[in-house]
Amino acid sequence: MAQKRPPATVDALIVGAGFAGLYMLHCLQARGFSAHVIELADDVGGVWHWNRYPGARCDVPSLEYSYSFSDDLEQEWQWTEHYAGQAEILSYLRHVASRFDLRKDISFSTTVLAATFDESVQRWTVTTDRGDTISAQHCVMATGSLSATRLPDLPGIADFAGEIYHTGAWPHHDVAFSGKRVGIIGTGSSGVQAIPMVARAAGNLTVFQRTPNFVVPAHNGPIAADRRKDWQQNFRDYRARAKQVGTLYEFSATPAFAVSDDVRTSEYRRRWDKGGVNFMHAFSDLMTDRKANETAAAFVRDRIGEIVHDPLVAEQLCPRDYPIGTKRICVGSQYYETYNRDNVTLVNLRETPVTQISVDAISTGAATYPIDVLICATGYDALTGALARIDITGCEGERLADKWAAGPRNYLGLMSAGFPNLFIVTGPGSPSVLVNMVVGIEHHVEWIANCLTDLRDRAAASIVPLPQDEDGWVRHVNDEADKTLFPLANSWYLGANIPGKPRVFLPFVGGIGRYRAICDEAAQSGYAGFAIAPQKPRKDA
Ligand code: FAD
Ligand code: N01
């Protein structure tokens, strides 16, 4: 199908058509800007276009993991399940694209390769793999925090001749597992969702686990009629509160050791039985006090021991060397129960690492496992990966990749000094992956749209953060992370999953409410921390 070509000149060029890019386009159009989106996929949806693996679904309740900007949209879209599946979320985003007439301004199946800032005209020149060159006053990178997939660099993986899939680049056709020998590498959120589904469909499933994860049950199901009614009646209040806290969990103000052991355990039990990430908010100090954290970790390990019949397998599934929640907590359905199935084998790669992948098998030091289908649930080059894949050059020929070689540097997570008019949505230095991302996305998009409007009102050519304010923000992001247990885990939050990636805690842990106040304050003070350049008078004026 012939693809729509982008215009040669726009006010704003947006890269990515997921939750962020779609809303950015809508907001800018509503404010009278010319804007265009470039998306490498052949349709909208972002994560929800790419992640079609069995079991893929959100783990923030769907009523909250959705846009809040349109009351009509809120009322007309009926989520069926508490945690919607991939297909339903993709339908929702397609509906949004149609309802707000966005597709006409999106070029699909097109990859942005480079963006270069021309200081003489204060504009970006953006190029694509289809030979397009676009001149844009502003460039918005809505490229996703978890969109740059990563295959494991295991010996011989290129020789594997069976079917091989990454969860984040799943094919559009049905993958047949029946009677097949399936291997899955990775037990993060994607693996945890896929494993029970694949185990039910496959001849046999071998799970290659490097680090066990803490998995709390989802207890997913249809949204009850009274819950739906309550939401539709009170959604404005709920959405207003979510803007401050991200997701409407039951946040406790009580430290873990302020209550007796029995009370503490029954609180964990109550939350476990209810399901979801709410478990992690049982006590106020679980992410700041190692001993408090250990009480929650021990509770989950006890559940693993109860659920998994084979004590040796149960022990292999128990995380022991990092605090619970410091790697993204996983939400599963029948995850631990799956290891009681006769057709499922757990391989502990810490004890027996992969020594060789051949055309049809994976070998460890201890055994060889014949494999027909290999699933890599091996994650992403998170937060910076998608940006790093674009050759971005700012003032004085500085490349963003060089500037960020020792770790990302930006102001408020939104813009980087030396790169005027380049905005990043939910990038490093913002709450990003630590909160309900749709809430974070809506915040960023509205802040950016308001900023562009303010610049237009002032007849300004460009905005760019000041280096000293950027330095202060980078320090603040690190200081805040150091007050928590997060840096104790080898997680992708720290870039630890990518060999050679600098170890820097990437998202801002201070919460969306505080972050929102800081960003609002910057804008209301006339963009303190930024330099705004006026339009140059035209020579003929
Ligand atoms: P994306 O959805 O990643 O979209 C970015 C788009 O940019 C992609 O379509 C990509 O193709 C495109 N792109 C990137 N680079 C280029 C380029 N150079 N040229 C052209 N196009 C490009 N978050 C939550 O808060 N709650 C959840 O329950 C939740 N569940 C998740 C489940 C999965 C399986 C995954 C992977 C992530 C989940 N997330 C969740 C995080 C998720 O990333 C965000 O919620 C959200 O979908 C991100 O939207 P986005 O538009 O910022 O990025
Ligand atoms: O990726 P991950 P993911 N050899 O990086 C292992 C969101 N999300 O796609 O921990 C062997 O978490 C790796 O092992 P280790 C959510 O934010 C949400 O699962 O590095 N193993 C790990 O087990 C999530 O956090 C949902 O030792 C290798 C796994 O692969 C984020 O996306 C669903 C390896 C990767 O886990 C990413 O999740 C899905 C190697 N060479 C995703 N390399 C929801 O439920 C990597 N691994 C909402």
Tens of pLDDT along 269-315? 999 999 999 999 999 999 999 999 999 999 999 999 999 999 999 99
Starting at the earlier edge strand, list the strands of the sheet with 204-209: 163-166, 373-376, 181-185, 204-209, 344-348
Predicted local confidence at residue 537, as pLDDT: 61
Which among 19, 49, 21 has a CA at the least distance from the CA of 36? 21
Structure confidence at residue 257 as a pLDDT band (50, 70, 90): very high
191 lines ligand 2 (CB under 6 A): yes
Distance 148 CA to ligand 1 centre (A): 9
- Best residue for ligand 1 mutational test, from 19, 38, 47 (most atoms within 8 Å of Cβ): 47
Distance 68 CA to ligand 1 centre (A): 18
268: Cβ–Cβ under 8 A, 6 or more apart, which residues? 279, 282, 295, 296, 299
Q: What is the pTM of this model?
A: 0.97
82 lines ligand 2 (CB under 6 A): no
182 lines ligand 2 (CB under 6 A): no
What does the alpha-carbon distance between residue 430 and residue 410 come to, in Å, rounded to a whole number?
10
DSSP 431-453: SGGGS-HHHHHHHHHHHHHHHHH
DSSP tag of 80:
-
Structure confidence at residue 538 as a pLDDT band (50, 70, 90): low
Predicted local confidence at residue 541, as pLDDT: 42
What does the alpha-carbon distance between residue 327 and residue 505 come to, in Å, rounded to a whole number?
12
- Best residue for ligand 1 mutational test, from 14, 23, 44, 437 (most atoms within 8 Å of Cβ): 437
**Which tokens go with 293?**
């954290």
Of the CATH numbers 3.50.50.60, 3.40.50.970, 3.10.105.10, 1.10.10.60, which one belongs to the domain with range 149-213+327-379? Answer: 3.50.50.60
Q: Where in the chain is the domain with CATH 3.50.50.60?
A: 9-148+382-534, 149-213+327-379
193 lines ligand 2 (CB under 6 A): yes
Nearest 5°: the CA angle 80, 278, 332 is: 60
pLDDT of 540 strictly over 80: no
Please tell me the CATH superfamily of domain 9-148+382-534, with its number: FAD/NAD(P)-binding domain (3.50.50.60)
What's the one-letter identity of residue 372?
D
- Best residue for ligand 1 mutational test, from 147, 381, 441 (most atoms within 8 Å of Cβ): 147
Structure confidence at residue 422 as a pLDDT band (50, 70, 90): very high
Structure confidence at residue 535 as a pLDDT band (50, 70, 90): confident
330-332/215-217 β-pairing: parallel
